[in-house]
Chain A
Amino acid sequence: MATAESELRRRGALPHPDVGKYSDVNRDVLKVLSRPGKGWWILFSIALAGVGIFFLSWFTQIVRGIGVSGLNAPVGWGVYITTFVFWVGIAHSGTLISAILFLFRAPWRQSIYRAAEAMTVFAVMTAGLFPLIHVGRVWHAYWLVPYPNSRFLWPNFRSPLVWDVFAVTTYFTVSAVFFYLGTIPDLAAARDQARGLRKKFYQVTALGWRGTDREWHHFSKAYIYLAALATPLVLSVHSVVSWDFAMSIVPGWHTTIFAPYFVAGAIFSGVAMVITLAVPMRKFFGLEAYLTVKHFEAMAKLCLLTATIVLYAYLTEYFLAWYSGEPPERGSFWNRAFGSYWWANWIMLTCNGLVPLMLWFKRVRRSIAALFVISIFINIGMWFERFVIIVTSLSHEYEPWAWGLYRPSVVEMGILLGSFCWFGFWFLLFTRLLPPVAIAEMKEVIPPPMRGVKEAS
């Protein structure tokens, strides 16, 4: 026992003092899948109503045309692209926690990674809708797919927008596969305890997993390779998203720091969203023994690290705008801070730059309530960051006569609000159908049952 425990410590596992046996994990996690409580139904109804608003707004836009949005010259990219980048960014921390921390052997990820990975898949599902909404005539959305059109012209592979199609679809496919594969052993665990219709569901989805040595052997190897593929992927996706902007010559967009700046921001916002989701999940489902304060502290440190990088990027942007000596560049950043959208900029700087500085204090990092509040601030701040980058830059390019303002319409706000509900809808379904904590992987960080054959002999 002692050796097994010290080995886990050495590998950096956080202690779960209230989880004793393997079967405790099954009991506590599978309990979550039983009958949903009142609170869940209330949240689910709200989410459903929001999904209704989402599709109603989109339907309005389809029927009446893209004119119902506030998009026009010069601001052709508005809330839709902002929200697209926001959700793609949210997705990133899920892959970070599931793949990158896996490769770095950081076993504190074990209890949180399933929820984070689910968040990734649903966030990409949400983000993926926004290009379709943004193109206006959604029935022509298949033009994004590379195929020769009626004049045998292929898409322009030099365009970052085409790269983005490849990056986001690859990201969705790979993260969905990674998520599902990791869930298979836990679906088998659910299958072995379920009854009736649920048993049928898990029987099919678990693919007949039995936990044999052959299955585990290839599974654990395949998992390493997938993690090794997902790691560069996650860094590439937001880099490609950033190049949607950086490859153009718009002042405020055309910088080389965009890729690392966007990746850090994505992970920052994603970790914040994981905290936002994990706090209520832990409370409602009684998972305190699994998601301990130390896990939240570890996530808070990740938040602090990325917050620092993001703040540094903000300051670098201002410095370079001044140092470049370019009047349009300087004007763009002056406009950001003191122009018509000054409020968006200061919301961004406050929420992403100042509020996370509180995480330097250990007491804040160890307070679940404080972390929850800070994570909400970061979520808001990161949405505004994209709004600032996209809208203020477009509204204030080179020619003063071409400057203009953009105001989101009701339809756009309905779609923005609805996207959160669409995401919540999937996440709520997830907490009822799939084990929200990785059962098999949790068992890796608790001491295995030993009879003590060796010690006795």
Chain B
Amino acid sequence: MTSGRQGFFALFEHLDSTVEACKALRAKGHKGFRAYAPLPEHHLLEEGLGLTRSPVRVFTLAGGLTGAATGFAFTSWTSVDWPLITGGKPILSIPAYVVIAFEMTILFGALATVIGLFINSRLPNFSPMVAYHPECSNGSFGIYVAAPAAQANEVRDILEGFEPAELREDPEGFDV
């Protein structure tokens, strides 16, 4: 079984050529390519790939609100479940429960953020590291494109135009 697509992995030594190559690919209508970087380089992400918003924030908000609600609900319910006056305080001592609700907000919010990150960035990812180059965690940038056979030459020309340090071709292009 072949995917009918051709994979290209280009390794770049310079940031600007990577950003420009991404822009050129997007200008030609290529979408499903991946750029690799050894650091969260905002030029590459925002300028080169047009990434701005991340759905992780929804997870954070949902987690935080769940935590706050859980904190208040739990403390209030346990107090009402066995009403026992301590220290002359009201059974529902809301100001005291704010502390618990606050900590639960942070805890649930943080854990939900991590879950959101893992879901959105597809981690953990233990599949074989085919479309990857170890230099991408060191000092270089990379681009992986899986192009339909008809566009293979166009993609090759674009990538070569930015003088990659290395250009690997993979006859079985796949989505990464």
Contacts and interface: CB of A to CB of B under 8 A. Distances in A.
Interface of A: 21-23, 26, 146, 148, 152-158, 162-163, 166-167, 170, 173-174, 177-178, 181, 184-185, 188-189, 191-193, 207-222, 225-226, 229-230, 232-233, 236, 240, 439-441, 443-444, 448-454
Contact of B117 (A153, A162, A173, A222): A222
Q: Which of B38, B42, B125 has the most CB of A within 10 A?
A: B38
Given A157-B75, A177-B110, A225-B56, A216 B40 contact: yes
A213 B35 contact: yes
Contact of A453 (B20, B82, B106, B126): B20
The 8 closest A-B pairs by CB, nearest first: A23-B139, A208-B125, A154-B78, A22-B139, A192-B134, A207-B124, A221-B54, A451-B14
A26 B125 CA distance: 23
Question: Does more than half of chain A's interface fall in helix, strand or loop, or is it mixed?
Answer: helix
Contact of B39 (A21, A22, A192, A230): A22
Contact of A217 (B14, B43, B54): B54
B137 A185 contact: yes
8 contacts: A154-B79, A189-B38, A207-B124, A212-B34, A212-B35, A215-B121, A225-B109, A226-B113
B138 interface: yes
Interface in B1-55: 13-17, 20, 34-45, 49, 51, 54
Interface in B69-124: 74-75, 78-79, 81-82, 84, 86-87, 89, 93, 96-97, 99-100, 102-104, 106-107, 109-111, 113-114, 116-117, 120-124
B8 to A, nearest CB: 15
Contact of A26 (B74, B109, B138): B138
Contacts of A22: 38-39, 138-140
Contacts of A232: 102, 106
Interface residues of B, number: 72
Contacts of B104: 166, 170
A148 B114 CA distance: 30
Contact of B38 (A155, A208, A440, A452): A440
A127 to B, nearest CB: 16
A229 B117 contact: no
A213 B34 contact: yes
Contacts of A440: 38-40
Q: Which of B84, B117, B124 has the most CB of A within 10 A?
A: B117
Contacts of A212: 34-36, 176
B136 interface: yes
Nearest to A243: B99
B168 interface: no
A17 to B, nearest CB: 18
A107 B110 CA distance: 23
B96 A157 contact: yes
Contact of B84 (A153, A184, A441): A153
